[in-house]
Structure 1
Amino acid sequence: MSARTHLPVGQEARMAKGWIGAHRYLLLRRASQVFFLALFLIGPWFSVWIVQGTIAGSLTFGVLPLTDPFIALQSIVAGHWPAATALVGALIVLAIYAVVGGRVYCSWVCPINPVTDAAHWLHARLGLHKGWQPKRSARLWILGTVLVVSALTGTIAWEVVNPITMLHRGLIFGMGAVWAMVAAIFLFDLLVARRGWCGHACPVGAFYGLLGRTSLIRISAANRSACDDCMDCYAVCPEQQVISPALKGKAGSTPLILAPDCTNCGRCIDVCAQDVFNFTHRFDDHLAEPSSSASERSAA
């Protein structure tokens, strides 16, 4: 609910931009997630081998290697130095996410994201309390634990229980018990901890967050003087704590969202009827000139 207008979240944006305009980045993210998943599935399903392998490690057109750097890191600490091709693939992925933002993986690629988004939608629809909220540092502790276990056991520990890999395998070989894993994550976010899996538990998200700390692509609240305090951006943001420093910062503070927790999902851009937010780069910290209506609200 919008605090200022008492309208449902995003209603102002839908009236100003139309339904598609108010869901543009959400639709693009779903298309991106389907696209990346389809690249891996059309081979085993239809024998069209554009990509061979899984999200963990693949070869595109038989030439381009791509390796999940988190898996490569686990392999290294486990005492198994990856092959040269796998190392090159990990470096390519590292370079990509160092530019676009590490947690872009979470919102634009990860196939578990639609599951947790659906849980959050139902959570809000039912008006449930946010529930248990572990510290956000918990996922860093889980990340560290995964690396320690890999080192002690000589295995790529997280892949034993990684829901991303399990879902991918399930779609190829049959879901079976994988449905129980998907349901568990959904129910965890719905009933136990709002946005709990991606925001507090997943070590993959924690790793990519660290990777993207200095990434180039950023969201900026460049037009923050036009903010009418509807709070819709906070309502849809999966990492609400990243917004305030940019949107409500002191005079002279950067409007850029620089927190590594930001997933660059673009939902704050979608739901803002005042067009406060936009995608830009980390060196673009300009602020838009206050509009006359914004100046009037400030004076009032």
Structure 2
Amino acid sequence: MILLNRSGNKRTYLRLKKQRYLCRACKKYFTARTYLVTPFCFISKQIHYKILEELTERQSIKAIGKHCDVSVTTVQRTLSALSSDIRQNLEYLPRCLLFDEFRSLSTWHGKFSFSCMDGETGKLFEILPSRRKKDLVAFFMRFSLKARLGVHYIVTDMNAPYFSLVKECFPNAQVIVDRFHIVQHLNRFFDAVRKRVMKTLDQKDPIQAKQYRQLKSLFKLLLKSEDRLDYNTLTKRRNFNWRLLTETEVVDRLLKISPELKTAYRYYQDLLTAYQEKDPDTFFQLLRAMPGEVPLELHHIKKAFFKYEKGIRLALLKKYSNARLENLHTGSVAKF
């Protein structure tokens, strides 16, 4: 029974009888073959062509299997069979490559896969099932030395293995730290100060319990860039007895809760301003001259940022970022 494409929205099968022949010269038997199906297979070529057509659409493998009346494994096998037909040009690599990983299916390679994109055109360059360094080195070393020498920039996050990968595979490339991860580090360490201040508040005390709720529910205003705070629109604030307050007034009241939080906020905003103005000299000067009264959490970013200083400086000076690649993984581009 050979599975064919659906007819009238019903499964269609072909009952195929095979003829066996005897070769009088070598005395061996052989079976007649048909163009409808590959040898030792009961799924017709039409089904495989339909699977390939469905794979061009944005949908799950499970949905494709349901449309074609085959298993998920068959769809995956059909897709994998294409790899032997695709010949990659090993003499070319983009001038700028964007590196990132994303959570995919759990396999023996791990839970995360690797993707890279052409930083100039925004076209996806390759997706690999593994993000491990040895697998990435093996992939990129297949390209000619001339192609690898033509790569000038690699954009990635603060992932140490990627930095050593660049040194091994791309002699002329400079590593650019993705701008999103710079802001993410700043937010994370400042937010750690806020959480620690919250833990010091006694929730049995009515006043401190109220302050705790204010810091918990309005933390996004503290993370927001100061020059983007709305100082005109009055809004009723539930955590401030429904008073009409602007965003700037809310932030001022939150900072009065803790002098330590206020010190951390001022320093955080100074770093954020230098970042937004793309001024690497001021940014690192602020890190070098970090006041002693700044909370310990913000001292941790100093070590991390100086470790990747060259990449962060390039991030503030060059146009490249991982925004388009992150967009493929999350469906939205973060704007910073």
Bigger RCO (CA 8 Å, 6+ sep) = 1
Higher strand share: 2
- TM-score, normalization: structure 1? 0.22
* Structure of higher CA gyration radius: 2
Higher helix share: 1
